[in-house]
Amino acid sequence: MACKSNRLISLSEGDKRHKISQRVDTLEFQKGQSVKVWIAGVDFALLLSKEVFKNRDGSTGELYLLCSDLDCSDELIQAIYQKRWNVEVFHKSLKSNAGITRSSVHAIRTHRNHQFLSIYSAFKLETLSLKLNLGKFGFKAKLYMKTLKTAFTELQSLKAVSA
């Protein structure tokens, strides 16, 4: 899981007991190297990995990843996080685009139908956005603008009839 750069860590169990800690971003270690750390509130050691990447604007960013399996390699931690991130993107699409959380029904069957149709609509949105070479949010915005234009045209025609 990702870790904020200002999170306090201890480098040994003794340091944790004596409340000696430092920020994650002050720790010096190389890319490809994992460090065993202890965090307040967690009873066991974790493995800390650092990923450096380039943003689209050319700037560099750092991502700190924590893993509870102390035998994992740095590459494996990053590969697992990449797979996990795709799940996060799908959940964001389900919540933002498909409205899976907006069900106000109380009947179990109706709630299940809403969940199924939300997942199905997220799938359809994904396939249509791939066909049109747009992102999911770009496709949603384009669809929304088209709907607004149609509604505005209808409003103008109603105004012309009533005048």
Contacts of 22 (CB under 8 A, 6+ apart): 8, 9, 10, 11
Quote the CA–CA distance of 23 and 45 in Å, as a whole number: 16
* Torsion angle of the four alpha carbons 59, 61, 78, 23, in this order, in degrees rounded to the nearest 10: 170
Biggest CA pair distance of the chain: 82
Q: Model-level pTM?
A: 0.60
What region, left, alpha or beta, does residue 40 occupy, with left being phi > 0 and alpha being psi -120 to 50 degrees? beta
**Cβ-contact 69, 47 below 8 angstroms:** yes
pLDDT in tens, the chain (163 residues): 788 888 888 888 888 888 888 888 888 877 778 888 988 888 898 988 888 888 888 888 888 888 888 888 888 888 888 888 888 888 888 887 778 788 788 888 988 898 898 889 888 888 888 888 887 778 778 888 999 999 999 999 998 887 6
**pLDDT value for 147:** 94
